[in-house]
Amino acid sequence: MINRSGRFARRAVKVDQAQHMIMQHVQRLGSEYVPLESCLLRRTSEALYAKECMPHFRRSGLDGYAVMSADAASAAPQQPARLRVIDEVPAGSVSDKQVESGTAIRVMTGSAVPEGATAVVMFEQTEEFQEDGQVFIHIKHNVSFGQNIANIGDEVAIGQLLMGAGTRIGPGQIALLASLGHDKVPVIRRPRVGVLTTGSELSDVGQPLLPGKIRNSNAYMLAAQIGQYGGLAVHYGTAPDRIDQVARIIREAVQECDMLLVSGGVSVGDYDVMAEFFTVGSGSGELELLFNANCQIRIPSGSKGVSAGQQVGVIPLPYETTIYGKGGAIDGTARLPDCTG
């Protein structure tokens, strides 16, 4: 039977105090480069700057005609400007012709504006006709210089800050990085979080439910929460209520993970081994008990008594770890239930 001396001598700890105590053991994780397609919901580990400008060519903002604005500066319905169409430029191509006075080149949205052109007129503001086998347009509205043209670097200049360190990467950020050639992205490493459940009463999900046993739902809940907030769950299985086995697994886990979550064994029952572990089983004292937390977390209906979400003990480790929160390394919120007992 486990030694019960001193296990009732516990001091209440408020949530903010518990969070402060944990934060004293938290350090920023290291950095790693990941492929662009794998960085969704990660956080940048350093500021990212544009390596090139966007657009890197003069780009048409719509489907229309590239013209010299001076040719149609005074165009009106009663006095339309008459221009000869000399070429057509689909998106992705470049014309080898130059726009000169009296000419126009047909362009598409996103295509390169030909040399010589100083404006683009949308199709809807023109009237196309043929004369002597050649194509002409009438422009019935005045055209201003630079109209519907995005100049080089209008959207992003070389060296411009794209996102600061700690930015959460979403679909929009991925599109921006892809547009500017960032195929590898420096992000903060995902923390490895061990999950250990304790209790001789626990059965695996796929096993028949025997008298006196319950299924191990906590392991799955904790792993899901770890993944939800950006961590990598490392499963250490289920240990029976034996301090020697629990101690062996904990010592193994702290060498391999940034953080370890232990479910069960933190109350004052005869076989709650975690309190015993910290008093006599932690060996050389490399692990420090910050506070006792016997927490019950609300779960879906149909669950009563001993159930998923109860008695989750947290062991901060002397490794680089990351708290999920505003300004943190990975999106999410670090929450401690009301553990004042």
Instruction: Given CATH 3.40.980.10, say whether it is the number of domain 15-30+189-316.
Output: yes
Q: Return the higher-pLDDT residue of 72 and 334.
A: 72
Q: Which fold has domain 33-52+153-188?
A: Molybdopterin biosynthesis moea protein, domain 2 (3.90.105)
| Predicted pLDDT at 95 | 97
Range from 90-99, 194-203, 240-249, 303-312 carrying the lowest mean pLDDT: 303-312
Measure the CA–CA gap between 156 and 182, rounded to whole angstroms.
14
Same CATH topology for 33-52+153-188 and 59-150? no
- Tens-digit pLDDT profile for residues 31-90: 999 999 999 999 999 999 999 999 999 999 999 999 999 999 999 999 999 999 999 999
Measure the CA–CA gap between 107 and 148, rounded to whole angstroms.
11
CB atoms within 10 A of CB 101: 10
Measure the CA–CA gap between 88 and 10, rounded to whole angstroms.
81
- Tens-digit pLDDT profile for residues 102-123: 999 999 999 999 999 999 999 9
Give the mean pLDDT of the chain. 82
| Predicted pLDDT at 267 | 60
Provide, rounded to the nearest whole percent, the portion of the chain with pLDDT above 70.
77
Q: Which fold has domain 59-150?
A: Molybdopterin biosynthesis moeA protein; domain 3 (2.170.190)
Which is nearest to 82 in space by CA: 92, 71, 90?
Answer: 71
Ordered alpha helix ranges (H), the chain: 15-23, 171-179, 217-228, 243-256, 273-276
| Predicted pLDDT at 68 | 98
Domain boundaries, the chain: 15-30+189-316, 33-52+153-188, 59-150
Measure the CA–CA gap between 84 and 296, rounded to whole angstroms.
79
Flag whether the pTM goes above 0.75: no
Q: Does residue 68 contact residue 116 with C-beta atoms inside 8 Å?
A: yes
